[in-house]
Amino acid sequence: MREIVFDTETTGLDWREDRVIELGGIELVNRFPTGRTFHRYINPQGRQINPEAQAVHGISMADLDGKPTFPDIAAEFLEFIDGAHLIAHNASFDINFLNAEFGRLGHPEVEQTRVIDTLAIAKRKHPMGPNSLDALCRRYGVDNSHRTKHGALLDSELLAEVYIELIGGKQAALSLDTFVASAETIEIATVEITVRQRPVPLAPRISEIEFEAHAALVKEIGEKAVWMKLAEGNRA
């Protein structure tokens, strides 16, 4: 099973007018990172960045000077996500922006059946919240200390770890240098173990004084002592 965990950064909040200016994602196969990633900064073709949006992601117009436009990177991104389920946090936001960009190019929209929204999963699993990406990182012990601003690739990496936890627990360390082995590369060795009795029994760990003290305690408790039942079981 192939999945792409992805994120976007945009010039603002209105997908009808604003543009994607950063796009990042990482590939998972059977819930393991393959090391394959996608990351591009994108020139918004004249659309200015809303100051409130810039305060969140820290990307300025100067940062995007000379960067490719969305039409320049669309084919490469489509190849990267081809055939995969798409995973995002508050996925409708990112998918609306992607479909708006694809619509300007006359390309079909991304089907909703391909999209998995981790925010929806988190709300079902933790109805009392909070369920922001930062909050989920804290809940699941995912280190997000280096996340001072939103960033498409960094947020994708963090979300991949959170996603694995949300669907049932960590399967493997989600570092991008994880090696994914195929069945042909794994050799299973058979080891024969012979169990022999010790020639000299180990010395008891309980001293004679401790043994006598325990026996006195059991006698004081009486026949209802659990140790009495254990002794009867050993005699049976």
pLDDT for 49-94, tens place per residue? Answer: 999 999 999 999 999 999 999 999 999 999 999 999 999 999 999 9
Give yes or no: 150 in active site. Answer: yes
Q: Are strands 2-10 and 20-29 parallel, antiparallel or unpaired?
A: antiparallel
> pLDDT by residue (tens digit) across 6-57?
999 999 999 999 999 999 999 999 988 999 999 999 999 999 999 999 999 9
Top CATH class, 2-180? alpha beta
> pLDDT by residue (tens digit) across 119-175?
999 999 999 999 999 999 999 999 888 776 688 998 999 999 999 999 986 554 444
For residues 133 and 158, is the Cβ–Cβ distance under 8 A? yes
Question: Is residue 101's pLDDT more than 80?
Answer: yes
Please state the domain extents for the chain: 2-180, 203-236
pTM above 0.75, yes or no: no
Which is catalytic among the residues 89, 107, 150, 214? 150
